[in-house]
Amino acid sequence: MVKMFMIVNVPEYVYGVCKIFVLCRVHGGEFVKNIETTGFEYFAENEIPNLALAKNNEEQVKMCFRAYNDPNWEVEFD
């Protein structure tokens, strides 16, 4: 069963946006600043940093933590 819910995406665009969150693991290498990402850092669920709200919001990050911590997680669509 797929959970259906609504996560508010800011700003609203006149075109469709598909956001996919993927769990990744670091296997070496180093971060290189680029046109999409200016930096990265690890943080705990209770230490969510300021976000670029046009890309992600706090509720979306919290959803990722819930998914990571729940072995029976079901994919969510809005």
Written as one letter, the residue type at 18 is: C
The pTM is what? Answer: 0.72
Q: Return the structure tokens found at 78.
A: 């809005």
Closest-CA residue to 75 (of 13, 5, 15, 9): 5
DSSP secondary structure, the chain, as one string: --EE-----SS--SS------------S------SS-S------GGG-----TTT--HHHHHHHHHHHH-TT---EE-
pLDDT in tens, 8-43: 666 666 777 778 888 888 899 999 999 988 888 899
Integer-rounded Cα Rg, in Å, for the chain is 14
Q: Place 78 in a pLDDT band, splitting at 50, 70 and 90.
A: low
